[in-house]
Amino acid sequence: MLKMRKTILSLCLAASCLLIFSQLEAQSGKNAIRTVIIDPGHGGKDPGARGLFSTEAQVALEISRKLGKALEAEFPQIKFLYTRTEDVLPGNARTVAEGLRARAEFANQSRGDLFISIHLNATGQRAGGWYAKRVVGHKPKVVYVGKGRKRKKKTIQQPIYESYYVKNTRVGTETYIWAADRSDDKSAYIDVEDESGEDSTAVDVNNILDLNSPEAKIRAQLYTKYFFKNSAQLASYVEEEFAKEGRQSFGVKQRNNKGIWVLQATGMPSILVETGFITNKEEEEYLNSDKGQQEVVETVVNAFRRYKSELENARHSQKATPGK
């Protein structure tokens, strides 16, 4: 009897997996992307990284607005939504933590198919550069050591220091996806729809989305893997496009152990684009210029176009493959 129950459970799980895979395949093809969330990083009381004359929040908002306009012009059938359009924290939040929650909640409640967060990077040192010291020689110096009768003179070699200017030279781009070791966190925010567009929880007569059921866990794991794959694909396209433009690319990154919370809290493929180092004088000037911002926008649009085409062609390619 127990063996029969295990067999039935295994068959049910297998059927559930096939259903989920068919849903994922159905999401590929025409109109695979209906809603995109554009997230300008930081904002308001959270300026982010600081350059010599600008802030990350300010520049990220300018790039995000231009990105949205360019995407809307080329893809009018897609809805592009912003987590903020002014220099405030999303949702007029009072704290940075509330702002992060507002970003994720907005994306999830809007049923986004993709989340793109725009940021600028920093090295942790002073923007532009800083003064440091180095030893350039030594000179003799007499000092006294010991106490009382044991006190005596001693000659030591005292370092001679020279101040010099260190330029903040770090430049380049990198795109983050959520950390693989945080996939359980991602699973908790995934809310899928069926092919009719209805909320799955509303039509789930078998209650397979019970969070404690094996089916629900499998569903969340499969969607998480699917979203992770798509996030990595888009992130790779973004960095490839940056490299084509001659920008220094540090590739696709994950922030393991800590992760990036907003990427893990959005139930959709999600990336965070570090468009350059605001702490480098020349790169800050570039990212504040119309030319630089337009090139960043074109890079992300090119990557998005490739990503959208990949999703739309996936199902067709599967059907066209012999034996499929």
What does the domain layout of the chain look like in residue ranges?
Answer: 32-123+169-320, 129-164
Phi/psi of residue 90, nearest 5 degrees: -50, 140
Query: In angstroms, rounded to a whole number, what is the distance separating the alpha carbons of residues 84 and 107?
Result: 11
Query: In angstroms, rounded to a whole number, what is the distance separating the alpha carbons of residues 288 and 60?
Result: 10
Q: What integer pLDDT is reported at residue 222 of this predicted model?
A: 73
Q: What integer pLDDT is reported at residue 244 of this predicted model?
A: 97
DSSP characters over 23-51: HHHHHSSTT---EEEEEE--BTTB--SB-
Q: What integer pLDDT is reported at residue 56 of this predicted model?
A: 98
Cβ-contact 35, 79 below 8 angstroms:
yes
Name the packing angle between helices 281-288 and 56-74 (round to 10°).
40
Digits of tens for pLDDT over the chain (324 positions)? 545 444 444 444 444 444 444 455 555 556 789 999 999 999 999 999 999 999 999 999 999 999 999 999 999 999 999 999 999 999 999 999 999 999 999 999 999 999 999 999 999 999 999 899 999 999 999 998 888 888 898 999 999 999 989 999 999 999 999 886 665 666 556 554 433 333 333 333 333 344 455 655 656 677 778 899 999 999 999 999 999 999 999 999 998 767 789 999 999 999 999 999 999 999 999 999 999 999 999 999 999 999 999 998 875 555 444 444
The whole-model pTM stands at 0.79
Spatial CA neighbour of 20 closest among 268, 240, 193: 193
How many CB atoms sit inside 10 A of residue 204's CB?
15
Which tens digit of pLDDT belongs to each residue from 43-68?
999 999 999 999 999 999 999 999 99
Cβ-contact 297, 14 below 8 angstroms:
no
Name the packing angle between helices 290-320 and 214-244 (round to 10°).
130
Query: In angstroms, rounded to a whole number, what is the distance separating the alpha carbons of residues 229 and 218?
Result: 16
Which tens digit of pLDDT belongs to each residue from 66-77?
999 999 999 999
How many CB atoms sit inside 10 A of residue 171's CB?
17
CATH superfamily of 32-123+169-320: Zn-dependent exopeptidases (3.40.630.40)
Q: What integer pLDDT is reported at residue 6 of this predicted model?
A: 47
Segment (H or E) for 117 = strand 114-121
Contacts of 11 (CB under 8 A, 6+ apart): none
Which tens digit of pLDDT belongs to each residue from 237-274?
999 999 999 999 999 999 876 778 999 999 999 999 99
Q: If you count DSSP H runs as helices and E runs as strands, how many of each does the chain have, helices first?
A: 9, 8
